Amino acid sequence: MMTTLLFLGMALASDPIERPEAPKSVDGECLKVYPISRGQPLPSPVFSPSGIAGCSAVAVPLSQFSDLLQTEEWGKAVAQQYKIETSMLQMEVDWYKSKLDEETQPKPWMERPATQRWFGRIETVLIVGVVSIGLGATYQYGAGL
């Protein structure tokens, strides 16, 4: 219960994490992705025969690129799980709010504790009175007085 309340408080306190916008294109960047293979000449748009770069790019090692792709997929899965947990927590919050609303509504006159106590007192007085009258009548008529 406490753990749920802790997660609920953290979820309500923090804003949802949104994916950042894609950056604007840089002046002179390469228009598309070009593969670079060992032992092969560089693609002509990236590297001209005169030895000058034709566009700006970053060569990322394949293992790092693979790791970045896996990290992106993991991040999407975490975000999806976060959305599911948030919706479940929101359902719990709504349920507790409805229970709070029910409990804070004024109770009908007959269901109030003070009214029930007064009815109990009156009932007790009436029962004691009826039993006293019955026992008194039994004693008076049974004894022959």
Non-local (6+) Cβ contacts of 41 within 8 A are 47
Domain ranges of the chain: 27-59, 62-105, 107-145
pLDDT tens profile 47-75: 777 878 888 888 788 888 889 899 988 88
Give pLDDT, residue 86: 78
Give pLDDT, residue 119: 94
User: Tokens 């598309």 belong to which residue?
Assistant: 32
Q: Does residue 11 register a pLDDT over 60? A: no
For residue 74, give both structure tokens: 């993991």
Full-model pTM: 0.39
| Alpha-carbon dihedral sign for residues 48, 53, 55, 57 | positive
pLDDT tens profile 88-137: 888 999 999 999 998 888 888 888 889 999 999 999 999 999 999 999 88
**DSSP one-letter string for 46-99:** TB-TTS-BSSB-----HHHHHHHHHHHHHHHHHHHHHHHHHHHHHHHHHHHHHH
